[in-house]
Every structure is written in structure tokens, then in C-alpha cells.
Amino acid sequence: MIDRENAILLEFKDLFGSSEGVGMAQAPGRVNIIGEHTDYNEGLVLPIAIARNTIAAFRANDSRTVTVRSMTLEETGSFSLDDEAMPGEPSWLVYAAGVARALQDAEVPVVGCDLVVDSTVPLGGGLSSSAAFEVAVGLALTAAAGREIDRKDLMWACHRAESEYVGMRCGIMDQYVALFAEEGKAVLLDCRTADHKLVPCPTDMVKFVVCDTAVRHELANSEYNRRREECEQGVEQAARILRAKPVRALRDLDPGDLSELQQELDPVIFRRVRHVVTENARVKEAVNALRDRNYVSMGVLMDASHDSLRDDYGVSSPELDTMVELAWSQRGVYGSRMTGGGFGGCTITLIDSGRVDEFCKNMALGYQERTGETPSIYVCSPEDGARIVHPMPD
């Protein structure tokens, strides 16, 4: 960690003349244990923050310009705080400019500053490097202005940056967990109320292991937006069918409503609805399973989540299925599922701590044999959310 921080400071000095008076903000990546595609349906999700994170070193520069160096991508870009338009190049700069703009929209004062950003969250790997980047930059921008910002306000600003200014219609999970996570706890987030409860997430007997398929399918974004539209249609149709029940979002449906809906809903829409409704119910059960340390039951829920995402929601991929099936055949595994939006990305597996080494070896070998790709594998424990790691000295 110290080596990494020194490397960041060295980069800062190279680029901006000195590293005096530099502060550092840090925000973690995340993995979702269960509750997939429930967030934008105003439902429940259960993510943890992981030990991979993004650090933004910052210093105010007495101007209206924000300059950002991405050590990760080895590119630098600048934008003016007075420019309404989003910068075009480098392409990732809009994530930072979007946060600055969203903060200003919320009347949070922002000042010009220099930033050096470094990340150990893989970019585009489904572990939410984007939210880690936004939150680290958001904390840095507000700290550079000498302000402390309410965490929820920052969450909304970062969410707005991504959904409005980057143009990715995401739910609030990623930004939320990056800000509110705690070590040893999973974050049960209610995406309707934007409130959370912390759920003890034991890491002595069992571990969560994330396996990255190393595959990203092009259709991920278009299919994501299509699923959102299908869910909206599901809400409209369900509200018409279940007249007595107010249905504002799929979150308002219970598993008990499904048989009535099945008769009348378009079959594809019905399967989408069934996934969201059953997944939401699984999150509630998973919270109890975790609290009771009932890993068998937790594993069954994770497996059922995968089946539902593959068959009803249609967002798995051959590589994700291969990875999950491989995990299911390993000793000590309680359950395994795809995690994240789908069409590539990662799986998450709950496994006996004593079997982790053997599991990682077998997964790497087995997946390579089947696909020719080398998977990245991360053993995860729930970590703390974002924080200022070094305040800017006075």
C-alpha cells in the first residue's frame, strides 16, 4: 500500500511539479453476492466492497480547471468547471467531469484541482471500477474544495454522473456500496428507499471467490437497456392485470402474484418479471441464511439465482455458465452464480475456507482447458467503503 501510494505521489510530482500538500481519497470496487437486476426495479441487492480500490490523489490548483491523470490508462485530460459540455477525449474523462458537473448541479462548490488516479479494480471487469473512480474523484473534488459532503449526496452525484453524463442507465448499487460498505459486513440496500442495513458476513469459515471469465460481450449495454424496457413493460402490464394491487415497480410484486400473471403476460415479459420477483425474494432469504451462518441454504439461493438469470432473464453467457458449472463440481463449494450485469464478466462462489487454494487452482486450469482463456481469480472479504486516506495538509 505504501509502495503504491509512493508511486502515485511520484507520478503527481512528475506531472504537477511537486507532491506537497497532496491528499488522497480511496474508494473500493464491489461484488454483488445476490440480487441481480433488482436494483433498477426498486428491489434489494446484497453487495460487499472488496480489497481492490481506486485512489485519487488531489490538490487544489487555484484555477477553474480540473486535470486528471489516469495512471491505470496512462492518459491525462483536462476540463473546465465552467464548461457545460462534457469533454470528448480521453473517453474516460467524462466520468470525472460528470461527477464535477453533478456536484455543481447539487450546489456543492467545486474548485479546480489536479488529480492522479490509480486503480487496482479491473476496468470493465464487472467489479465496478466506474463507481470506484467516480466516488474517489468525488471525495477528492470536495476535499480539495475544503468541504465535507454528506455521503448520500455524494452517492447521488456519482450516480447522476454515470447515468446522466456518461449515459449508462445504472442503478444506485455501485456508488452506494462504494460509500457505505463496512469491513466484515454485506450491504443490504433497498433501492427504493436508498437506505441500507449492514448484515454480518462471516469470513472465517467461508470465502467468496470471484472468477473473471475474461470475456466481455458487445451486446451487454444494449441488452441491459432492453431488459430495463422489458421490466417497464412488465410493470405496466402487471398493474393492468392485478388491478387491486398498486404496482409502481416490479419490487411491488410477490412470488404469489406470478401464477395469475403467467396467464396473461407476454411470455418473454413474464420470464423477466419472474426473475426479478424471485430474485428479490432470494435476497431476503439470503440475509437470514448469512445471519444464521447457514451456508448450505445460502449456496442453494446462489445457484437458483444463476439458473434464473440464465433461463428467465437471459443475461448469462456460455463462458459464465462454464465457469459456474465448473465451480459447482468443486469440493467445498456451497453455491456459485454469475454476478453483475451479465454477458461476460464475473462469477461469485461461496466456498469452504479450507478449500480455497485447491478451488483457485482447479478453476484456473479447468476454465483454461475449456475456453483457452486464463481467468483472473479474487478471494474477497467484505471491506470498508470510501474514505480520505490522507487529508490534504493545511
Active-site residue list:
174
Q: CB within 8 A of 28, min separation 6: which ones?
A: 49, 50, 51, 52, 53, 54, 121, 132, 178, 181, 383, 384, 385, 386
Q: CB within 8 A of 377, min separation 6: which ones?
A: 209, 210, 211, 212, 360, 363, 364
Residue 343's CB: how many other CB atoms inside 10 A? Answer: 24
**Interacting residue with ligand ADP among 92, 270, 313, 359 (CB under 6 A):** 92
**Interacting residue with ligand ADP among 38, 41, 53, 54 (CB under 6 A):** 54
What does 163 bind: Mg ion, ligand ADP, none (CB cut-off 5 to 8 Å by kind)? none
What does 126 bind: Mg ion, ligand ADP, none (CB cut-off 5 to 8 Å by kind)? ligand ADP
Nearer to ligand ADP, 34 or 97 (CB): 97
What does 336 bind: ligand ADP, Mg ion, none (CB cut-off 5 to 8 Å by kind)? none
Q: Which grid cell sits at 328?
A: 459447482
**Interacting residue with ligand ADP among 116, 117, 154, 161 (CB under 6 A):** 117
CB contact at 8 A, 179 and 140: no
The least distance separating ligand ADP from the CB of residue 66, rounded to whole angstroms, comes to 14
Nearer to Mg ion, 171 or 335 (CB): 171
Residue 3's CB: how many other CB atoms inside 10 A? Answer: 7
Distance of CA 311 to the CA centre of its chain: 23
The least distance separating ligand ADP from the CB of residue 89, rounded to whole angstroms, comes to 12
What does 342 bind: Mg ion, ligand ADP, none (CB cut-off 5 to 8 Å by kind)? none
CB contact at 8 A, 47 and 187: yes
Could you tell me what percentage of the chain is helix, strand and coil, using 3-state DSSP and rounding each to the nearest 5? 45, 25, 30
The least distance separating ligand ADP from the CB of residue 134, rounded to whole angstroms, comes to 8
Segment interacting with ligand ADP, rule: CB under 6 A, options 121-129, 239-247, 310-318, 385-393: 121-129
> Residue 12 is which amino acid?
F
Q: Is 120 one of the binding residues for ligand ADP (CB under 6 A)? A: no
Nearer to ligand ADP, 99 or 290 (CB): 99
Q: Which of 302, 262, 296 is nearest to 282 (CA)?
A: 302
**Phi first, then psi: what are they for 33, rounded to 5°?**
-70, -45
Q: Is 95 one of the binding residues for ligand ADP (CB under 6 A)? A: yes
Residue 266 and residue 271: Cα distance in Å, rounded? 9
What does 111 bind: Mg ion, ligand ADP, none (CB cut-off 5 to 8 Å by kind)? none
Nearer to ligand ADP, 117 or 377 (CB): 117
The least distance separating Mg ion from the CB of residue 137, rounded to whole angstroms, comes to 14
CB contact at 8 A, 180 and 193: no
Residues 122-141 binding ligand ADP (CB under 6 A) are: 123-130, 133
Using DSSP bridges, classify how beta strands 206-216 and 376-380 pair: parallel, antiparallel or unpaired. Answer: antiparallel
The least distance separating ligand ADP from the CB of residue 128, rounded to whole angstroms, comes to 4
Nearer to ligand ADP, 131 or 276 (CB): 131
Q: CB within 8 A of 259, min separation 6: which ones?
A: none
**Which parts of this chain interact with ligand ADP (CB under 6 A)?**
54, 70, 72-73, 91-92, 95, 117, 119, 123-130, 133
